[in-house]
Amino acid sequence: MTTRETAEAKAPGHRPGRKEGRGTLEKDQALGRMLHDDSTLIPHGVEGQVTAVVGGDDPAPSAKVTPQVTEGTEGKAAVPPSEEIQPSEEPEEAAPEKRELRFPLSYPVPLATLRERIPFLLDHGLNVEVDLSDTTYNGEITIRELERLAIELRRNKIKVIAHLPHHDLKLASHDKMILQHSMDAVQEGLEIGKILGARIAIFQSGFSNHVKPKDIDWWVAECIVALEDLVSRAKEEEVIVALENTWESDEAVIGRLYDAVDSPWFRFCCDVGHAACFSQFAPEDWIVQFRDRIASFGFHDNDGMADQHMACGEGVVGFDVISETIHEELTEPVNITLDVREEDLLPSIRHLEECGFHFERAHA
């Protein structure tokens, strides 16, 4: 994939048409309890153990109503005048009332500075997406330190999402040493996230525009092998792993991965900023395509050409359309991580509220 096929594809106001043809993905089975409490960080459709049966007993059938009859003059049953059959009128179906969705907000913080950033998270009512990209620090911090940090986060009612290491890592590589290092780093991040109390861990596949079209089939096959290992480990740890879209130009590659590794522990993190600058399709189309797998969102803005992580509302991402699409496609709220600079945090929240979003502020 090249950075962009044509300049016209990035003209101001350009929005590619909605993709047709790929069917709605099947709904996942319910998973285990995903957080310590009744947190709305749990992705929609994720409730109960994997082996649990969803739903209760079938409702009892309606009781039969036997109409009263009176004897006619010739001994035939006659319907009383009050029960004469009237032409049936179809009752008008009332439009179902949509429940207000209140989305929990998270903010990315590197693991190395997490403890000192807790007051900031508390002041702004935010949960945390712990950035585990510093693999050197990940290898140095002790389990005891992680456990103490986890206690402090729970004490302050800060929910945790982990963002697993991703810099220069690849889940498909011709170099087996690179692949092994990548898997080791990602799985170490998963273990750290588990200790901190995360029930969702976001990761990237390493796909990029350097993967030539002729190599995509090979790349997908290799990535599937690594994913099966990662998802198996995630199931053991009881942590959902959510694949984040990055350089993918469309949904095809990610769709093939979900088709091959169909597990309730393998979900999707829809990064609308990445979709706006790397994809041929509008961010809202990604939401529609993977609505049944979305476990988290990444919100930030850009000019449609580069991954700038600007304040929401300052670029080409139409958050009014994003809001409308999310409220149409999702029945339960999921986490939204605002991946913007600190000075852009409050302006981003205000813009999103103007676009129709309602937020559940943490620690209340």
- Name residues whose C-beta falls within 8 Å of residue 281's C-beta, 6 or more positions apart in sequence: 16, 18, 19, 250, 251, 275
Q: Is 63 helix (H, G, I), strand (E, B) or coil?
A: coil
Let me know: does 157 contact 363? Beta carbons within 8 Å: yes
Rounded to whole angstroms, how far apart are CA atoms 190 and 42? 17
What are the two backbone dihedrals, phi and then psi, of residue 335, each rounded to the nearest 5 degrees?
-60, 145
Sign of torsion, CA 251 252 254 257?
Answer: positive
Q: Indicate the domain borders of the chain.
A: 27-51+100-360
Reference 300, options 321, 323, 275, 325; nearest CA is 275
For residue 317 the two structure tokens come to 């991402």
pLDDT score at 163:
98
pLDDT score at 150:
98
pLDDT score at 357:
97
For residue 284 the two structure tokens come to 């809202």
Question: What letter represents residue 317's amino acid?
Answer: V
226 Rama sector, left if φ>0, alpha if ψ -120 to 50, beta otherwise: alpha
The pTM is what? 0.76
Displacement of CA 171 from its chain's centroid (Å): 21
CA gyration radius, the chain: 25
pLDDT score at 71:
43
Sign of torsion, CA 311 317 320 324?
Answer: negative
pLDDT score at 29:
37
pLDDT 10s digits, 157-211? 999 999 999 999 999 999 999 999 999 999 999 999 999 999 999 999 999 988 9
pLDDT score at 23:
37
Rounded to whole angstroms, how far apart are CA atoms 241 and 247? 19
Contacts 24+ apart (CB under 8 A), 331-334: 331/44, 332/40, 332/43, 332/44, 332/45, 332/101, 333/40, 333/44, 333/101, 333/102, 333/103, 333/104, 333/360, 334/40, 334/41, 334/42, 334/43, 334/44, 334/103, 334/294, 334/295, 334/296, 334/297
Please report, to the nearest 10 degrees, the dihedral formed by the alpha carbons of residues 186, 188, 192, 195 taken in order: 120
Reference 362, options 200, 188, 225, 159; nearest CA is 159
- Name residues whose C-beta falls within 8 Å of residue 31's C-beta, 6 or more positions apart in sequence: 46, 47, 48, 49, 50, 240, 264, 265
Around Cβ 126, how many Cβ atoms within 10 Å? 25
Low-confidence ranges of the chain (pLDDT < 50): 1-40, 44-85
Architecture of 27-51+100-360 per CATH?
Answer: Alpha-Beta Barrel (3.20)
- Which residue is listed with tokens 């500075």? 113
- Name residues whose C-beta falls within 8 Å of residue 21's C-beta, 6 or more positions apart in sequence: none
